[in-house]
Chain A
């Protein structure tokens, strides 16, 4: 196998591992629209990175974290519902990003690499950055696992128990932001939420504990990445969408297998 395929596989597998547990929380807290919002804000990050000539990944990370911060604060301070806040943040940051790119980019920027991802162009240095992001996310999720579960089940109960609920919500949002920033390269802005929620939703069917669901989601994600890269290798399809296609196919299969026997009973 050529190097770029190995890099692509490693990067994809790493992200899928981290996306399992984080995606499970996205599903449990009904935050699936949050992933989209972060992805749109990542586009703003790319625009700002181009204008200020800073490292693009770093710019994307900063923007995603800023939006995550803004979301958690707005959710606490205003009476708008969460999905309204997400919609406002999402489309405003997308619009700013598009305007900035069109105003400032001198040579026509190819947006499609960011919209759909370009896994096969992952290099050594990017692989190291992704590995660092994955270890960071997995380490913190593991360390705060029970606390994150508690605030997901009943925030007020968690607060009476003495947990720093606001801080934990913020940390979880930031971890998702880090993962989204790292995953932009792989599946792109448009499909990033799929990597978070589809494997987790597939895992829900066959798991009896939150831990099992998170692990299974990671496993399904890894399988989808391998399948997507293989598909892209053999039929020359775009890699990011192929990975998401595999996620979707696995979800469909799990629905089929879990619902057929019940009907016969």
Chain B
């Protein structure tokens, strides 16, 4: 199918005689947002790396559309203290066209930190920088490995709306990896629930009533967590600055 960007067929990954992934088949389509969820140790990162071609499958096949441009956002980036590197210089390595770096940073909502040192920015800012870097590759597919890791709920909402905007604007496919089993992006087209094998996949509303999902992350367990509703009369942007509650939602686009 010409709409398919990456296709995995019956993929098995065995590392150190331990089976990490078994019999995975899936398709990533152009313009679609796919959420990959699963508990810790489910093999999400291994699957992502296999799809990216960083990890060879022990058996099975991963096929990419020829010439596919991927914007990959890794979980984290540690820069050695001894390497003096500004955000701008780091991003210019991905695309040196004039003006593009500023444009991508603005789109990712981190234009203010352009001249900051890469080793001194916060975790949330680093996520934005890595997202900007992925955008600079003019991707047909964005692969985001736990972009919401360590980001609070409000930040997640902001991040997800940024990602949704990016999909609208660039028309790229998105693979979004998350360990959060209950919250996925509202705009997601399909959800793949992974626990070493594909437990279930489908549209979000189908997944939430799938018996395999309920079994694994079920609702039959006693609730140890409760929701607490905050009512603030202001918001914070990514840099911690106070912004007007109404305006706050729109500023990062």
B76: nearest chain-A partner, CB-CB? A154
Q: Which of B49, B79, B84 contacts A208 (CB 8 A)?
A: B84
A156 to B49, CA, bound (A): 9
Cross-chain contact A149 with B93 (CB below 8 angstroms)? yes
Q: Which of B83, B89, B117 contacts A152 (CB 8 A)?
A: B83
Q: Which of A150, A154, A210 contacts B84 (CB 8 A)?
A: A210
Which interface class (under 10, 10 to 19, 20 to 34, 35 or more) fits B? 20 to 34
Q: Is the interface of A mostly helix, strand, loop or mixed?
A: helix
A29: nearest chain-B partner, CB-CB? B80
Give the number of A-B contacts (CB < 8 Å).
54
Say yes or no: is B72 at the interface (Cβ < 8 Å to chain A): yes
Cross-chain contact B84 with A153 (CB below 8 angstroms)? no
Say yes or no: is A30 at the interface (Cβ < 8 Å to chain B): yes
Q: Which of B121-173 contact A (CB under 8 A)?
A: 133, 137, 143
Say yes or no: is B52 at the interface (Cβ < 8 Å to chain A): yes
A152-B83, A204-B82, A212-B84 known; A157 and B89 CB under 8 Å? no
A201 to B81, CA, bound (A): 11
B81: nearest chain-A partner, CB-CB? A204
Which B residues are CB-close (under 8 A) to A159?
53-54
Q: Which of A146, A149, A160, A201 contacts B82 (CB 8 A)?
A: A201
Which A residues are CB-close (under 8 A) to B52?
156, 160
Cross-chain contact A160 with B70 (CB below 8 angstroms)? yes
Interface residues of B (CB under 8 A from A): 49, 52-54, 70, 72, 74, 77, 79-80, 82-86, 89-90, 93-94, 117, 133, 137, 143
Interface residues of A (CB under 8 A from B): 27-30, 146, 149-150, 152-154, 156-157, 159-161, 201, 204, 207-210, 212-213
